[in-house]
Amino acid sequence: MSQDLRTEYRGRILKAGDLPTLPKVLDEVNRLMEDPNSSTDQIAKVVSLDQALTARILKMVNSPIYGFPGRIGALPHAMVLLGLNVVRGVLISASVMDMMNKASVGLWRHSLGCAMAATETARVAGLDDPEEYSVPGLLHDLGKMAVALQIPELQDDMKYLVEVEDMTMLAAERQLMGFTHARVGAWLADHWRLPPFIKEGMVHHHAPDKAEHYPLVPAVVHVADFLVRLFEYGSGGDGHIPYLEPAAVDRLGIKFKDMEKVMDALAERLTQFAGYSFS
C-alpha cells in the first residue's frame, strides 16, 4: 500500500460537501453545556427550534435502545431521563443517521443493536449513566459507512475478500486501504469535533486497552459488538465473530453471568427494532 494512495483515500473520505454536516444547533448546545449558568430548559429551548431534529431525538429516546417502559413525549423530560450527554450524542447521531442508513441497512441495524447492547453492558457492569454508552455503541462503525459511501469502487474487492477469501472486514480493509474503519472513525471524530467519550469508543473498539482517556467506553463497545455479532442482528460486514478481548471483560469486571443478562435483553428487545425507522 503506497503512502500516496492512503493519503488519497483519506482525502476522499473527508471530502467536504459529501459528508453530512452537523447541525448548527449542536454548537449552541455545546456552548450551553459548558456554561455552568445555563439550565436544561435553556438547552431544550435551543434544540426544539429545529422541529425535525426534535422529532428524531424523541423517536430515538423512545426506541428499544433504551427500553424505557413509558413514552417520553417532550425534550425536557428526555433530558432529565437520559442526561445532557446522551441528548447531545443523540443529536449527533440524528444527523448522521441518513448516511448510515444509505451506506448499508445491515450495518445500520448492527449499529442499533450495538447501541442497545452497550447500554445493557454498561448497566450490568454497574457503570454510572449506562445510557451514555449507547452513542459510542451506535457510532462505532461509522468509519465503515464513510468508506462505503466515499470510496464505493472498493466495495467489490472488499466483498470478494470477505465472502470468497473468508477474511474479516478488518483484515480486508487493511489489505485494500492500508488502514481500518477504526482509523477512519478517528478522522471523522476529529472532523466533526465529537466528544472524546464518543471518539474513543469509535477508535478503540477493536483494541480497547489502547484507549487513553475513557478506557471503559471501548471496553463496553467491544463487548457489545461481540454480543450483537453473536446474535447476527444486522450485519457487521463479515460472517465472523470478533475475538473477545479478555482485557475488556476484566476492565469491566463482568462475569459470564452478567453477559447472560445482556443476551437476555437482546433476545427480548432486538426484535422490537423490526420496522423501526428514525426518519
Give the interface with other proteins as residue ranges (CB under 8 A).
69-71, 168, 229-232, 239-241, 243-244, 246, 256, 260, 263-264, 267-268, 271-272
Tell the smallest beta-carbon distance from residue 26 to other proteins (Å).
27
Residue 122 Cβ, how far from other proteins at the closest point, in Å? 20
Shortest spacing between CB 141 and other proteins, in angstroms = 18
Measured in degrees and rounded to the nearest 5, phi and psi for residue 193 equal: 50, 50
Nearer Cβ to other proteins (27/268): 268
Do residues 231 and 259 touch, judged by C-beta distance below 8 A? no
> Considering the complex, what minimum distance in angstroms separates the CB of residue 184 from other proteins?
23
User: What DSSP string runs through 117-178?
Assistant: HHHHHHHHTT-SSGGGGHHHHHHTTHHHHHHHHH-GGGHHHHHIIIIIS---HHHHHHHHHS
Enumerate helices (H) and strands (E) in the chain, giving the number of each. 16, 0
> What CA–CA distance (Å, rounded) separates 250 from 261?
17
C-alpha 165: how far from chain center = 28
Nearer to other proteins, 22 or 244 (CB): 244
- Contact between 9 and 81 (Cβ < 8 Å): no
Query: Considering the complex, what minimum distance in angstroms separates the CB of residue 106 from other proteins?
Result: 16
Residue 96 vs 270, nearer CB to other proteins? 270
Which CB atom, from 200 or from 245, has the smaller least distance to other proteins?
245
Task: Find the shortest distance in angstroms from Cβ 238 to other proteins.
Answer: 10
Calpha distance 125→257 (Å, rounded): 11
Q: How far is CA 252 from the centre of its chain?
A: 19
- Our CB check for other proteins shows the closer of 13 and 262 to be 262
Considering only CA atoms, give the Rg of the chain: 18
> Looking at beta carbons only, is 104 or 168 nearer to other proteins?
168
> 180 by DSSP, 3-state: which?
coil
Q: Which is nearer to other proteins, 192 or 226 (CB)?
A: 226
Residue 155: Cβ within 10 Å count: 14
Least CB distance to other proteins at residue 192 (A): 31
